[in-house]
Structure 1
Amino acid sequence: MNVRATVAETADVRAREEVGQRIAELVARAREAQRKFEFAGQPVLDMAANAAAWAIMEPTRNRALAELAVRDTGLGDVEDKFRKNFRKTLGLLRDLRGQPTCGVIARDSAKGIVEIARAVGVVAAVTPSTNPAATPANKIVNALKCGNAVIVAPSPKGYSSCALLIDFIHAEFAKAGLDPALVQIVPEPVSKAATAALMQQADLVVATGSQANVRMAYASGTPAFGVGAGNVASIVERSADLHDAAHKIARSKTFDNATSCSSENSVVVQDAIYDAMLGELERSGGVLLDAAQKAQLQAAMWQDGKLSERCTAKSATRIALTAGLETVAEREPRFLMVEEDGFGADHPFSGEKLAPVLAVYRARDFDDAARIVRDIYAYMGAGHSVGLHTAQPEFAIRLGEQLPVARVIVNQAHCFATGGNFDNGLPFSLSMGCGTWGRNNFSSNLTFRQYLNVTRVAYPIEEQVPDVDELLGEYFGRVGR
């Protein structure tokens, strides 16, 4: 018998039990608060959601959260996080306004059905370091709107920002007379064991971030919503307004140093407009690297097959300096571009980069562009979305019918549009479902509806039995009985 191994295993079991007990205490407090809150009525639920929203939107607090997020995670840009915190929460409030989320929410007299909204209970919200304030706020607001309590398990890097956000929420709750136990955070140090324990003990898990966390959520035994991997590609079709397309791609690619899963990682350009589009991208702040520079950048961005933290969510100038590309850095690029023609692990630029670095593919025609995107997504990013810049809207329908994507974003700056924007009809969200293509159980933007149960009351109606010939007449006419 290996005594040392036995002692270590015993200590590990005890440590997990202690973590589980600490989480159980959090969950117990949340359950007690939630049972009262659930039946407090729509005005109270709305007040709680609004309190959590204002906690991040108020300019002084928003600024503090944005600055702390960049300081402690080293990811993104303060001004962009400030804008994201405000706009994403403002859009969410717009979507929630007037939505009934408790009591009777729908009646269908013809079918004799009445629908009653019910809370799910205690929500485990797993959140990423890339958006350590905006994503938790989004989940907290949605959870509260539906009468739930929520416990956040942030990434270790994003802990300070999330903890400050919850302090701000509790301050608003104090003014509104709400129980702070409705919104809690896993205490430091956040560990896989603590996150796993929370997932197992909660009533619903909503996981955004690494695929490891998403897989853990689905394996927890608790109902879960998790998101797929990002790796967005955009097609520039020959009829597109190239100046407009380049401007929007540049805005999307550079926003918050590409921390968003919705930022373009690749652009696929038809051959007939390839050189002209590259020129427009360069005028929008992009710098195209030659083959030697591309190799230097690859060596800096990936180490042992993994993205290096030295380049993740940093500015293009800083990335160029890290890669030893001083002459490129002197040009103060907004983003870097590399030409690519392959896919997979041997062509890492075909994957998600979480940096203002754009892979550029040349396509013979539109069908070839769709084929290239399909090959990219066979490696990474299936289910998320695809961008299209074109003057022919019908091409978007073709992509929606052929590609493994849950969203087709037409003539828009992709990272703003995919999660909802004020100039499109998608709901505001920081968590995008990727369907079965992305190993998810939903293909919509995550909204308040995922935080609700619905009870249906069925009353008797007049019996209406259909005629077999009416239902199968067309079939019988074609093949006979």
Structure 2
Amino acid sequence: MNVRATEAEAARERPDSDAGDAGRSVAALIARARAAQRVFEFAGQDALDTAAAAAAWAVMEPARNRQLAELSVRDTGLDNADDKFRKNFRKTLGLLRDLHGQKTCGVIARDAATGIVEIARAVGVVAAVTPSTNPAATPLNKIVNALKCGNAVIVAPSPKGFSSCALLIEFIHEQFAKAGVPRDLVQMLPAPISKAATAELMRQADLVVATGSQANVRMAAASGTPAFGVGAGNVASIVTASADLHDAAHKIARSKTFDNATSCSSENSVVIEDAVYTPMLAELAACGGVLLDAAQKARLQAAMWVNGKLSDACTAKSAAAIARVAGLDEIAAREPAFLMVEESGFGSDYPFSGEKLAPVLTVYRAASFDAACDLVRGVYAYMGAGHSVGLHSTDPDQAVLAGSTLPVARVIVNQAHCLATGGNFDNGLPFSLSMGCGTWGRNNFSGNLNFHQYLNITRVAYPVEERVRELDDVLGDFFRRYGR
């Protein structure tokens, strides 16, 4: 039996354990989730796979997907429905590809040489904290992963994403009913979503997976429950002198405009080597980018940041809409795909060096590849350390050098960054909407969150023939160089 589950139940039996309404409400959800999960965990691989497939199909079916995409945009005011529709489908299809054939219960590995047998075990009840930017795709990703591993999951959506999440879970429960899957395996916090309820869910669950604001990630880390959180986004892409500029520009433009740049993997900056700076700007302009002059940049800055915070009037809006908010009607009339501003510094005095959550691209000029890397380090010291860097280059050594020296968990080479970082059908990264940023981003993992994070592994150790190494076998090289 799960020790945390036993402790939580004992705490709920004490009259002073859950004094507040939030605690009692969450405790009731947790109790139902545990009752369903204890049976489900041992139902066998086919039952786990069926539940995961039912949840996935709940969104992938086109009519339901379209309804969710349009509701997400209507209620959050963010992004656009067509890109939401594509994201919901492709991210879930990719996740199913990654999960297909994976064994997630019972014995999953035997090693005769070491005498170790590995047994996959569920973690229990998962608290899934999700953002308004992906009110369907992110909770679904977490739900499918959790179910595949024999867990129950309770979603804490953002207040803006509540109605989308509620519809998502309604669709999932419909598919569960068809497949005979217990509905209490997937639940969500009731309205109104509050910090108190979210904090209680984190405290009472067995595992927290938090995606979204850094405030939520920090709250998860402080909850006392094992937690996986993500770092801040603020991706830069480097364009070197050897790059295919036409290809690089089209991929950057595609990435920058997808879903109105709300993805944490959307480029916020592009760092261009001096030798190709002017032609690269021309290629970006050919893709619909409009470079602002200094006066226009100042007006845009005043519109995008109000009292030091990103303005809702510009977040996740189209480039033309943002231009109109900034009073740049002549720019808006050109119907730009994205806006560009030149920058030379980074930090709080240079707000364009940070994450913008909008189709606005900051452009830096660098004398060389090494100088470009130095610029990226400076930008990431301000915001975005640990996430990813894009690289457009034909020199494979530059990719390895970037991965060896920059504070990033991923180097995305010659790809549309926001489509590639969370896994794509033309790279080997796991499909995910939650990217770990390692210790650089104050995370405890540096990969793409996938089903492995939703499992415990029990290891059975059998005796094997004793193998004791001689001292010279393990320290011989040290002795030869430095003596005993």
TM-score (norm 2): 0.96
3-state DSSP class of the match of 1:128?
A: coil
Corresponding position of 1:84: 87
Distance 1:19 1:456 in 2: 38
How far residue 318 of structure 1 moved from its aligned partner, in angstroms, is 0.4
Corresponding position of 1:273: 276
Distance 1:394 1:93 in 2: 33
How far residue 182 of structure 1 moved from its aligned partner, in angstroms, is 0.3
The question of whether the paired residues in 1 share the 8 Å contact of 2:261 and 2:316 is answered with yes
Residue 200 (structure 1) aligned to one of 200, 203, 222 = 203
Mark the runs of 5 or more structure 2 residues left unpaired by the alignment: 1-15
3-state DSSP class of the match of 2:278?
A: helix
Q: Does 1:240 align with 2:243?
A: yes
Residue 99 (structure 1) aligned to one of 96, 99, 102 = 102
Taking a change above 3 Å as real, the CA distance of residues 295 and 16 of structure 1, as seen in their structure-2 partners, is farther
Corresponding position of 1:166: 169
3-state DSSP class of the match of 1:187?
A: coil
Residue 34 (structure 2) aligned to one of 31, 43, 47 = 31
- What is the correspondence of 1:37-48 to structure 2 with a 5 Å cutoff? 37-48=40-51
Distance 1:364 1:377 in 2: 19
Mark the runs of 5 or more structure 1 residues left unpaired by the alignment: 1-12
Q: Does 1:316 align with 2:319?
A: yes
Distance 1:152 1:419 in 2: 21
Corresponding position of 1:480: 483
3-state DSSP class of the match of 2:387?
A: coil
Q: Does 1:407 align with 2:410?
A: yes
TM-score (norm 1): 0.97
Distance 2:315 2:471 in 1: 62
Distance 2:84 2:19 in 1: 36
Taking a change above 3 Å as real, the CA distance of residues 143 and 276 of structure 1, as seen in their structure-2 partners, is same
3-state DSSP class of the match of 2:412?
A: strand
Corresponding position of 2:124: 121
Q: Does 1:419 align with 2:422?
A: yes
The question of whether the paired residues in 2 share the 8 Å contact of 1:387 and 1:408 is answered with yes
The question of whether the paired residues in 2 share the 8 Å contact of 1:16 and 1:193 is answered with no
Taking a change above 3 Å as real, the CA distance of residues 23 and 385 of structure 1, as seen in their structure-2 partners, is same
Q: Does 1:336 align with 2:301?
A: no
Per-residue CA deviations over 1:362-383 (Å, capped at 9, x if unaligned) read 0000000000000000000000
How far residue 470 of structure 1 moved from its aligned partner, in angstroms, is 1.1
Distance 2:157 2:271 in 1: 35
Corresponding position of 2:472: 469
Per-residue CA deviations over 1:293-344 (Å, capped at 9, x if unaligned) read 0000000000010000000000001000011000000110000000000111
The question of whether the paired residues in 1 share the 8 Å contact of 2:18 and 2:24 is answered with no
3-state DSSP class of the match of 2:121?
A: strand
- What is the correspondence of 1:363-402 to structure 2 with a 5 Å cutoff? 363-402=366-405
How far residue 183 of structure 1 moved from its aligned partner, in angstroms, is 0.1
The question of whether the paired residues in 1 share the 8 Å contact of 2:205 and 2:225 is answered with yes
Per-residue CA deviations over 1:111-168 (Å, capped at 9, x if unaligned) read 0000000000000000000000000000000000000000000000000001000000
Residue 20 (structure 1) aligned to one of 5, 18, 23 = 23
How far residue 395 of structure 1 moved from its aligned partner, in angstroms, is 0.1
The amino acid of 1:128's aligned partner reads: P
3-state DSSP class of the match of 1:157?
A: helix
Distance 2:379 2:80 in 1: 28
The question of whether the paired residues in 2 share the 8 Å contact of 1:75 and 1:130 is answered with yes
Taking a change above 3 Å as real, the CA distance of residues 14 and 45 of structure 1, as seen in their structure-2 partners, is closer
Per-residue CA deviations over 1:359-408 (Å, capped at 9, x if unaligned) read 00000000000000000000000000000000111100000010000000
Aligned-residue identity in percent: 77
The amino acid of 2:256's aligned partner reads: K
Distance 1:362 1:18 in 2: 55
The question of whether the paired residues in 1 share the 8 Å contact of 2:126 and 2:206 is answered with yes
Residue 223 (structure 1) aligned to one of 221, 226, 234 = 226
Distance 2:29 2:301 in 1: 44
Corresponding position of 1:210: 213
The question of whether the paired residues in 1 share the 8 Å contact of 2:289 and 2:339 is answered with yes
Per-residue CA deviations over 1:227-255 (Å, capped at 9, x if unaligned) read 00000000000000000000000000000
Distance 1:475 1:230 in 2: 43
Distance 1:480 1:222 in 2: 48
How far residue 16 of structure 1 moved from its aligned partner, in angstroms, is 6.5
Per-residue CA deviations over 1:56-88 (Å, capped at 9, x if unaligned) read 100000000000000000000100000000000
3-state DSSP class of the match of 1:371?
A: helix
Q: Does 1:433 align with 2:436?
A: yes
Distance 1:305 1:163 in 2: 33
